[in-house]
Amino acid sequence: MNNPNDPQRMERIVSLCKRRGFIFQAGEIYGGLNGCWDYGPLGVELKRNLKDYWWRVMVRERDDVVGLDGSILTHPAVLKASGHVDTFSDPMVDCRTCKARLREDQVPEKNGAKQCPNCGGKELTEARPFNLMFQTQMGASAEPESVAYLRPETAQSIFVQFKNVLDTARKKIPFGIAQIGKAFRNEINPRNYIFRSREFEQMELEYFCAPEQGMQLLDYWLEERLRFYENIGIPRTKLHVLMVPDADRAFYSKGTYDIEYEFPFGVQELEGVAYRTNYDLTQHQNASGKSLEYFDEETKAKFVPHVVEPSAGVDRTVLALLCEAYDEETVTDEKGKSETRIVLRFHPRVAPFKVGVFPLLKNKPELVAKAREVQALLRPHMMVFYDEGGAIGRRYRRQDEAGTPFGLTVDFETLGEKGEELRDTVTLRHRDSMEQERIAIADLLATLLPQVQ
């Protein structure tokens, strides 16, 4: 089960995510909405922690990056200029026999001919492009000029607002504009759980630079991003860097790396780091008629900036965190019986709850009061789960499944009933090793806080 390529492993992860409230199917009680997912109480915290850490290291701790939050509804002229209206499409074929609509590149060949995977039919239509953008009508009239699109990527609002940001943020090149937000693609075949969905979230940085800085910054950002994944608990050994070959790169890109992760369903892309030249800004400058040039006060040069783009998927990174964390092991309980322990070995930085607080018994008011004190002490600084129900071993197991790295048990020693030297100490249990140690309540914050930030 711990073989990362075991096909059952993915099923177990999906099952745990449903059972513990990480991820639910959108509209499940109505049969579900294909390719859309809702994050439950644990999932929303995991995702927030990931996004907050990205924002912290990519924006708040850097002098050279500022943030943006653009609208999802997008003016058609933006996506016409970017090329999405004309070329953001998959080739589709219809089966003349069973009427199934299929992505041409996913139709398998049999005996040298393409055959419908649905019914085996051999009569398929010619391939036609199917645009992947969702469109809607804005305003009260249904004229063509009232079309708006749901953005297929967050990047375009960064390019479109480049001049406004440049004029207001007092930044000199090289500098970046970062954004986290939802994007939408009408995938024909959403698949692999939250890996390829129709509604998803992106974390994108557009880092603007002089033309001669592009190739060097491409390598700089690749390294930065690899370090990011290591810092959230995805070891570099599980990451693959693919240098996208010339033929597969967008025509305007001078270099693109894919950062891939070993998912149970195969090695798949987590993030693209692309040197996009000045293609995007030039397209928008030409289409809008507004200058998007930068004037370098030192060199007196005027040019349309080049850009390096690290573009990460929030949901697929959440999935990588879940896949990397999921573990089953056989343990022996206090009665000598062996059982399977399911544990999510999240890095404490991304774990939904940082610590579980447990009074040993719920019918002893002194234990409960002390446990509530410990909770109140820690809660302003980290997510705490308080649980007083059931045997302590079962409470530990529940937190193992939720990925909570630390457990604190308030017992009779805490109350000073087993000697003064143990008064106001608690048991600190470590999720991964299951080892337990005694720690003073007064030392808790200083011990735990640096590990969970």
If we measure between CA atoms, which residue out of 161, 276, 283 comes closest to residue 217? 276
Region of 34-42, 108-116, 412-420, 430-438 interacting with a second copy (CB under 8 A): 34-42
* Cβ distance to a second copy smaller for residue 156 or 425: 156
Nearer to a second copy, 73 or 250 (CB): 73
> CB of 136: closest distance to a second copy in angstroms?
5
Q: Which of residues 198-227 bind a second copy (CB under 8 A)?
A: 198-199
Among 14, 44, 210, 241, indicate the residue that binds a second copy (CB under 8 A): 44
Examine residue 168 and tell whether it contacts a second copy (CB under 8 A): yes
For the beta sheet containing 128-131, the strands, ordered from the edge strand earlier in sequence to the opposite edge, are 101-103, 89-94, 128-131
> What tokens were used for 127?
């391939």
Which residues are CB-neighbours of 401 under 8 A, at least 6 positions away?
Answer: 16, 20, 342, 343, 344
How far is the C-alpha of 380 from the C-alpha of 184, rounded, in Å?
36
Beta carbon of residue 223, minimum distance to a second copy (angstroms, whole number): 21
CB-nearer residue toward a second copy: 383 or 422: 383
Q: What is the rounded distance in angstroms from the CA atom of residue 209 to the CA atom of residue 202?
A: 22
CB atoms within 10 A of CB 40: 15
**What gap in Å lies between CA 95 and CA 127, rounded to an integer?**
11
| 33 is a site residue for a second copy (CB under 8 A) | yes
Q: Is 450 in the site for a second copy (CB under 8 A)?
A: no
Least spacing, CB of residue 179 vs a second copy, in Å = 8
Site for a second copy in 364-403 (CB under 8 A): 379-380, 383, 386-387, 389
Q: Which amino acid is at 407?
A: G
Which of 12, 14, 53, 67 binds a second copy (CB under 8 A)? It is 67
Angle at 273 between CA 281 and CA 80, to 5 degrees: 35
Distance CA 441, CA 422 (A): 10
Residues 273-302 that bind a second copy (CB under 8 A): 284, 287-288, 290
CB of 260 to a second copy, least distance (A): 26
Closer residue to a second copy (CB): 225 or 284: 284
Q: Which two tokens stand for residue 92?
A: 């589709």
CB 113 within 8 A of CB 319: no
- Of 386 and 412, nearer to a second copy (C-beta) is 386
29 binds a second copy (CB under 8 A): yes
Restricted to residues 78-97, the positions that interact with a second copy (CB under 8 A) are 78, 92
Residue 20 Cβ vs a second copy, minimum distance, rounded to whole Å: 6
Please, what's the b/e burial string for 232-244 (b: 16 or more CB within 10 A of its CB; e: otherwise)? bbbeeebbeeeeb
Q: What is the CA radius of gyration of the chain?
A: 26
Q: Do residues 124 and 91 touch, judged by C-beta distance below 8 A?
A: no
Choice between 90 and 260, CB closer to a second copy: 90
72 vs 242, which CB is nearer to a second copy? Answer: 72
Stretch that binds a second copy, among 104-112, 184-192, 271-279, 358-366 (CB under 8 A): 184-192
Binding of residue 445 to a second copy (CB under 8 A): no
Residue 262: CA count within 13 A, CB half-sphere: 14
What part of residues 103-162 is at the interface with a second copy (CB under 8 A)? 130, 134-141, 148, 150, 157, 160-161
Among 273, 10, 305, 277, which Cα is nearest to 175's? 305
Q: Which is nearer to a second copy, 153 or 260 (CB)?
A: 153
* Closest distance to a second copy from the beta carbon of 211 (Å): 22
Q: Rounded to whole angstroms, how far apart are CA atoms 284 and 281? A: 5
Candidate residues 9, 47, 347, 370; the one interacting with a second copy per rule CB under 8 A: 47
Binding mask 224-263 for a second copy (x = CB under 8 A): ----------------------------------------
Residue 186 binds a second copy (CB under 8 A): yes
Distance, in Å, from the CA atom of 356 to the CA atom of 339, rounded to the nearest integer, reads 22
CB count, 10 Å around CB of 326? 24
Which one of 5, 11, 15, 32 is in contact with a second copy (CB under 8 A)? 32
The two beta strands, 199-209 and 175-184, are antiparallel
Measured between alpha carbons, how far is 286 from 282 in angstroms, rounded to an integer? 6
Residue of 40, 83, 117, 211 that binds a second copy (CB under 8 A)? 40
When asked if residue 75 is in the footprint of a second copy (CB under 8 A), the reply is: yes
User: Which of the 8 DSSP states describes residue 127?
Assistant: P
**Which region, judged by CB under 8 A, interacts with a second copy, from 72-80, 234-242, 263-271, 428-436?**
72-80
Identify the residue among 4, 27, 129, 393 touching a second copy (CB under 8 A): 27
